[in-house]
Amino acid sequence: MHNSIHYVATYAALERYDNTRDSRALLDRMIRHAESDPQYRTRLDTWLGQGGTVELRELSNASGHDLNSLTHFNLVDAIDSAHLHRFDPQPLKDRQDALNA
């Protein structure tokens, strides 16, 4: 799964932000979980291809995190946002720098 174009693009989008190390770690834990659970892998593959906030929250909870934790909520939001912007032609930071110039 680490070679899925959607995973690679989502991970790259997360790298555009300075404070997403923990979100990348959560995404990696989800990928490792998928490697040992075929049903979870199918769901994660579907999410990687189609997205969906609710599905992502359920998938992230299955990897052992507390959905009620604000920290976890923020990590999942960062992954969800990066996934939405995974194929943006220009990194958001570059756009913000251009606006501030």
* Segment 23-71, tens digit of pLDDT: 888 999 999 999 999 999 999 999 999 999 999 999 998 766 566 677 8
pTM of this structure: 0.73
User: Using an 8 Å Cβ cutoff, are 49 and 87 in contact?
Assistant: no
% of the chain exceeding 90 in pLDDT: 34
Q: What distance in Å separates the CA atoms of residue 91 and residue 16, rounded to the nearest whole number?
A: 7
* Closest residue by Cα to residue 85 from 74, 26, 77, 63: 77
Tokens of 79: 């992954």
**Structural domain boundaries in the chain:** 5-100
% of the chain exceeding 70 in pLDDT: 74
